[in-house]
Structure 1
Amino acid sequence: MATLERRLVEMLKAPVEALGHQLWGLEYIQAGKHSTLRLYIDNEKGIFIEDCAEASRQVSAVLDVEDPISTEYTLEVSSPGVDRPLFTAEQYQAYIGETVKVQLTMPVAGSRNLKGTVTGLDGQMLNLSVDGNELTVALDNIRKGNLIAKF
């Protein structure tokens, strides 16, 4: 996780938790002149549009005061959804036995995109079963990870 993203998590966790939600994670995406700050919030009862709107108002107030992003950006707040993004070791640990898709910074076994079953976590190393092969991936090598929903 980049330094700005870490700082944003630290800054925005408390206002989101004050509303009774968990800050599941966030993404800061720069695309030319336009950037997006996307927050994912969750709780045991599920997230509704009203929850996202209220979290957006609270987070916007904090961001307006703290001003951590110097360029223009769009703030988006949503639930993680069924193909929820995974950000932390604890989140990967909670989904042992489930299928995930990860995009890597550096290739593992010749690929930057892996889809497999989470078989374990050893510190900051994620164990995946990919097409019958056991692979180990450093969490800091994962650019993006998502749970693959079962239907």
Structure 2
Amino acid sequence: MSKVIEVVEQIVEPIVNDLNLELVDIEYVKEGKSWFLRVFIDKEQGIDIEECGMVSEKLSEKLDELDPIPYNYFLEVSSPGAERPLKKQKDYEKAVGKNVHIKTYEPIDGEKIFEGVLTNFTGDTVTVEVKIKTRKKTIEIPFEKVANARLAVTFS
């Protein structure tokens, strides 16, 4: 599966760059009996349906031409949504000051899940201010211990 993602990334990256968009993530997953290739794109002001359609059309043409995927699949191109995944270092840099949800590979201070405000990112360390009962605590998470992270929608 990761080989498919690598190949698709090489194909889609020039397409999104030409349209001044950002490639956020690619998923290639089997759900039930069907395979899905999901491409998530974005831009600073947010993405619209026409941009998703343009990327889908251009990517579909290239995929048909090169035929890098051995199975039949459904292609979906969309926005990453409000709970956008944080994959690259620049994603973390842009998320400073925002609410995040982070899972780690191993416990840090006895926990593996942290939700709070991303206060700093150095490239090596992710600093999150979490609320425990009525007080705030700052947690420093080594970047290599982050299993996955995303923006978190909070309701006040």
Looking at structure 1, the residues matched to 27 and 95 of structure 2 have their Cα atoms a distance apart, in angstroms, of: 20
Post-superposition offset of 1:37: 1.8
> Which whole-Å deviations, capped at 9, do the CAs of 1:55-81 have from their partners, x for residues lacking one?
101111122223333223221111222
- Larger C-alpha radius of gyration, 1 or 2? 2
Displacement of 1:136 in angstroms is 0.6
Write the distance in 2 (CA, Å) between the matches of 1:134 and 1:5.
33
Separation in structure 2 between the aligned mates of residue 124 and residue 64 of structure 1, nearest angstrom: 40
Question: Which stretch shows the higher mean deviation, 52-61 or 115-124?
Answer: 115-124
Q: What CA distance in whole angstroms lies between the structure 2 residues aligned with 1:82 and 1:23?
A: 16
1:65 maps to 65
Alignment partners' CA distance in 2, 1:42 and 1:48: 9
Inter-partner Cα distance in structure 2 for 1:11 and 1:137:
32
Q: Which amino acid aligns with 1:149?
A: V
Q: Which deviates the most, 107-116 or 37-46? A: 107-116
Say which SS state the counterpart of residue 70 (structure 2) adopts.
coil
Q: What is the count of residue pairs matched by the alignment?
A: 148
Match of 1:86 in 2: 86
The answer for unaligned runs of 5 or more in structure 2 is 132-136
Cα gap change, 1:8 to 1:54, in 2 (>3 Å)? same
CA distance in 1, matches of 2:113, 2:35: 24
**When the two structures are superposed, what TM-score results if normalisation uses the length of structure 1?**
0.78
TM-score by length of 2: 0.76
- Which shows bigger deviation, 6-15 or 131-140? 131-140
Distance in 1, Cα, partners of 2:103 & 2:5: 18
Q: Which residue of 2 aligns with 1:35?
A: 35
Matched, 1:149 2:153: yes
2:20 is paired with a residue whose SS is coil
1:44-123 map, 5 Å: 44-104=44-104, 106-109=105-108, 110-123=110-123
Q: In 2, Cα distance between the equivalents of 1:84 and 1:73?
A: 24
Residues 114, 50 of structure 1: alpha-carbon distance in 2 compared, 3 angstrom cutoff: same
Paired residues of 2:12 and 2:59 also in contact (CA < 8 A): yes
Query: Counterpart in 2 of 1:138?
Result: 143
**Alpha-carbon separation, structure 2, partners of 1:86 and 1:137:** 15
Contact 2:102–2:146, Cα closer than 8 Å, also in 1? no
Identity of aligned residues (%): 30
Q: Label 1:37 to 1:113 Cα distance change in 2 as closer, same or farther (>3 A).
A: farther
Q: Determine the C-alpha separation between the residues in 1 that align with 2:84 and 2:147.
A: 15
